[in-house]
Amino acid sequence: MRILAEEYITFLNLEPQVCENLLPNEISIIGVTLLIVSSLSWSILDTLRKKIGTDISAASTAGGICLLQVPFLLLFTPTDQLTFQSSYFLFGIGSVFLNVVAGYLFIRSLQLSPLSKTIPFLSFTPVFTAFFGYIFLDENLPMFGLLGIALVVLGALYLGSSEKIRSFDRGSSLMVCVALIWSITPVLDKRAVAASTTLFHTLILAIGIAGAFGIVAALQDKKLTAFPVAIGKQWKLFVIAGILNLVAVYTQFESFQYFPISYVEACKRALGIILAFLLGTFFFSEKVTLKGAIAGLVMIIGTALILFSK
């Protein structure tokens, strides 16, 4: 589509400066679509991970979902997409390592606390990502973006506090750690994709994360067959979750071409909060309080300001 836009601009004989302003608008619909698909996929995947994690270990849950992405990636990835530069290894391996740590903590958080109590804390991710994006990728946020960050923090703090004592429970605390780690990985992922291809990096992540969690699961259960046995118990859910994870990761990486990483994370969290409350209520019989609804609304407004600020 970009090629068509460039040909159209050439036909109109516009100045180069005008071309630079027009091209993002021509392709913005693709970026928005990628953002929406990625956000919805992540949100539904959060619910599936909680469902799977109620019966098996966190390591088997996170690793099994990644493992089932591999066959699809190997089947549909063209050979010319399996390319990379030498600089890829630093960013790619770093992303694998941090995603393993975050994936384990994420499942543990969902095992300890309800969706409506934990998922909103991922709204810290665009806050941290805005900082790391500014430091390492030279991505700046305007005043409305900073205001959005403040609302996200206030809403999350309010939601995580108890009625009597202003403190986080264990599941919420773990999710804040996940948010911090997942704010660093987009920086690494964006650099990794730039040094390779989206499909190649997605494949390396799936293999690396699945392998690491397979080892952890075997050590925990002291059985080499612990991983496949765990997957076999809920293989249908694992297949669905694997496909969703693949779609979520791929569309997220592709959206980095159109938006700053902090904007991508903000959109993910806004939809994630809404669906976490809805899915938690309908599928896990979790009670949504007035306090939770108010805090969620504040964080949604904050992430919207981040997303739509110019």
In this predicted model, what pLDDT tens digit does every residue of 78-100 receive, in sequence order? 989 999 999 999 999 999 999 99
Give the pLDDT of residue 29: 81
pLDDT digits (tens, 9 = 90+) for 233-256: 788 888 999 999 999 999 999 998
Chain centroid, CA 104 distance in Å: 14
Look at residues 42, 54, 52, 62 and name the one whose alpha carbon lies nearest to residue 122: 42
More confident residue, 118 or 95: 95
What is the average pLDDT value for the chain, to the nearest integer? 78
pLDDT recorded at residue 12: 35
Residue 213 CA, chain-centre distance (Å), reads 18
Predicted confidence at residue 301, as pLDDT, reads 85
Share of the chain above pLDDT 70, in %: 77
Nearest to 176 by CA among 113, 233, 120, 111: 120
pLDDT of residue 279: 66
At 116, the pLDDT band (50, 70, 90 cuts) reads low
Residue at token pair 């739509």: 308
Question: Going by C-beta distance under 8 Å and a sequence separation of 6 or more, which residues neighbour residue 5?
Answer: 22, 23, 26, 27
Residue 195 near residue 87 (C-beta atoms within 8 A): yes
Q: What pLDDT score does 23 carry?
A: 39
Give the whole-angstrom CA distance, residue 81 versus residue 79.
5
CA 87, CA 28: separation in Å to the nearest integer? 29
Domain boundaries, the chain: 2-308
Structure confidence by residue, pLDDT tens digits, 162-172: 543 345 578 87
d(CA 39, CA 272): 7
Q: What is the dihedral of CA 51, 56, 61, 63, to 10 degrees?
A: -170
Q: Which pTM does this prediction carry?
A: 0.76
pLDDT at 220: 74
